[in-house]
Amino acid sequence: MRTIDKRFSGVHALKEVDFSLNAGEIHALVGENGAGKSTLMKILTGIHQRDAGDIYYLNRPFDPRNPGHALEMGIGIIHQELNMMDHLTVAENIFIGREDTRSGGVFLDKRGQNERAADLLSRLGMNIDPTATLGRLSVGKQQMVEIAKAVSRRLEILILDEPTAALTDAEIDELFTIMTDLKNRGVGMIHISHRLDEIHRITDRVTVLRDGESVGTRVTSEITKEEIINLMVGRTIYEEPKSASSVPPDAEVVLRVTGLNAGPMVRDISFELKRGEILGFAGLIGAGRSETARAIFGADEVQSGRIEIGGAPTSIQSPVDAVAHGLAYLSEDRKRYGLALNLDVKDNVVMATYRDFTNGPFLAKRKISDAAHQYVNRLAIKTPSVDQLVRNLSGGNQQKVVLAKWLIRNCDILIFDEPTRGIDVGAKSEIYHLMNELAGQGKSIIMISSELPEILRMSDRVIVMCEGRITGELDISEATQESIMHCATMRTQETLTRS
């Protein structure tokens, strides 16, 4: 790709970017949220048309007209935001648009399709039932299905736009095995990720974008992670673990959960949250942490257990009740629960608090814009204006809009579920700063995170879950990656020895 240029109304998304990919190469594409990574890849796959520049593919000029055309030519993409049909089965999703039909007939050969999907999934080492409804799988598993779908075709180039953001460590290992296998077969891959540790594990070269410009391409083994960060954000960022809790021992308990049961993934959960505390919830993806949060928040049905807020027993039947009790829940799955993509930034930010922004029967437009502005600045949300549709923001900036939406409510107890997933290193430290500030103001935070460095950096205390139960509680002064991992895999090990 040579001197690729692209403008959207108000945004110069790509400025004369050069990019190349060799056969059998894994090329990392990194940069801050909104740097232009997804846009460059959407141009390569014909989703967006470039304004200027040239593309050469297999030594010939190439004009990708639309994603179907690119795919036909052997260029596949796995999108940042999952892009599949929740109500269809796994197999249907994999073969959508090219369903098998029985010879001459119009009937879909479901069984044949399921068998082929089963075959593909097992070849990829994925333990997924092809007849399962996609929407019932975890985000991580859905991602794996999307990968299976892409590699079920003959490809020259595979683009992976943040494929690992929602995957467990084991799933990441599986994915990297699949990628290595494709590499050995000569497939070139472009790997976009905010998890910078992955770059040295899997990629051959790395290109850094900054504000729509390429600031360089390097051989991965010749550049350090710190140097990459420096190229990305233009400064050095230090992330040190917290060494001691900043919560006084006699701090008031604001939330007490006792014997909470809600489905198979929330078993007998008891814990306390104190005023001004950041309580980390660690564990592997699928340990039941989000389910616990959803149960407390009234989003899922609770079978038994007690929830006390500020010392008083409460009965939270729905998220609306929860909010009335001063609870906020920032879901991990922003597309499903967090955002109205077809509304603009300001409406998304104030959506849940419209009542505070009325003027008699009218919405106070000015007040809404001002409030939205304030959060756009505070969280450094990259958007030309608060009137931009959220759909048009980059993935990480959409995540920040979800944050703003909850912060504006001024809740006392905030549950952050994977708050920095898909967020670049620079913005991450801004969000950490903000969380510390909120805790300093006496707000209490439950932070669910699958990234151990994040847990160790932010938490005053750590609760570890495994298979729907709490398997450990550690003060930050005694928490280490090892002690947390030990608890996080405890029940799995027990189950293994028992069977």
Among 1, 26, 38, 465, binds ligand ATP (CB under 6 A): 38
Q: Does 214 bind ligand ATP (CB under 6 A)?
A: no
To ligand ATP, the closest distance from the beta carbon of 212 in angstroms equals: 7
Q: Does 420 bind ligand ATP (CB under 6 A)?
A: no
Q: Does 348 bind ligand ATP (CB under 6 A)?
A: no
Q: 24 near 388, Cβ under 8 Å? A: no
Q: 206 near 31, Cβ under 8 Å? A: no
Q: Does 419 bind Mg ion (CB under 5 A)?
A: no
Residue nearest to Mg ion (CB): 38
417-420 long-range contacts, CB within 8 A, separation 24+: 417/289, 417/290, 417/293, 417/329, 417/330, 417/331, 417/332, 417/448, 418/332, 418/448, 418/449, 418/450, 419/330, 419/447, 419/449, 420/449, 420/451, 420/454
Query: Which region, judged by CB under 6 A, interacts with ligand ATP, from 8-16, 237-245, 359-367, 466-474?
Result: 8-16
Q: Which one of Mg ion, ligand ATP, none interacts with residue 11, CB within 5 to 8 A by kind?
A: ligand ATP
To ligand ATP, the closest distance from the beta carbon of 325 in angstroms equals: 33
Q: Does 393 bind ligand ATP (CB under 6 A)?
A: yes
Q: Does 419 bind ligand ATP (CB under 6 A)?
A: no
Q: Which of 243-272 are b and which e, b meaning 16 or more Cβ less than 10 Å from the residue's Cβ?
A: eebebeeebeebbbbeebebeebbbebebb
Q: Does 11 bind ligand ATP (CB under 6 A)?
A: yes
Q: Does 212 bind Mg ion (CB under 5 A)?
A: no
Query: Which region, judged by CB under 6 A, interacts with ligand ATP, from 118-126, 231-239, 309-317, 390-398?
Result: 390-398
Q: Which two tokens stand for residue 241?
A: 């673990």
Q: Does 399 bind Mg ion (CB under 5 A)?
A: no
Q: Does 395 bind Mg ion (CB under 5 A)?
A: yes
Q: 286 near 466, Cβ under 8 Å? A: no
Query: Which region, judged by CB under 5 A, interacts with Mg ion, from 127-135, 224-232, 389-397, 468-476?
Result: 389-397
How many residues lie near Mg ion (CB under 5 A)?
4
Among 79, 382, 405, 443, binds ligand ATP (CB under 6 A): 382
How many residues lie near ligand ATP (CB under 6 A)?
20
Q: Does 38 bind Mg ion (CB under 5 A)?
A: yes
Among 1, 17, 31, 464, binds ligand ATP (CB under 6 A): 31
Among 5, 8, 99, 137, binds ligand ATP (CB under 6 A): 8
Q: Which of 390, 429, 425 lies closest to 31, judged by CA?
A: 425
Strand partners, 473: 463
Going 249 to 458 to 288 to 405, the CA torsion angle's sign is positive
Q: Which one of Mg ion, ligand ATP, none interacts with residue 35, CB within 5 to 8 A by kind?
A: ligand ATP
Among 394, 449, 471, 489, binds ligand ATP (CB under 6 A): 394
To ligand ATP, the closest distance from the beta carbon of 167 in angstroms equals: 17
Nearer to ligand ATP, 27 or 382 (CB): 382
To ligand ATP, the closest distance from the beta carbon of 420 in angstroms equals: 12
Q: Does 203 bind Mg ion (CB under 5 A)?
A: no
Q: Map the footprint of ligand ATP across residues 56-95, applying CB under 6 A.
A: 80
Give the interface with ligand ATP as residue ranges (CB under 6 A).
8, 11, 13, 31, 33-39, 80, 382, 392-397, 424
What residue ranges bind Mg ion (CB under 5 A)? 38, 80, 394-395
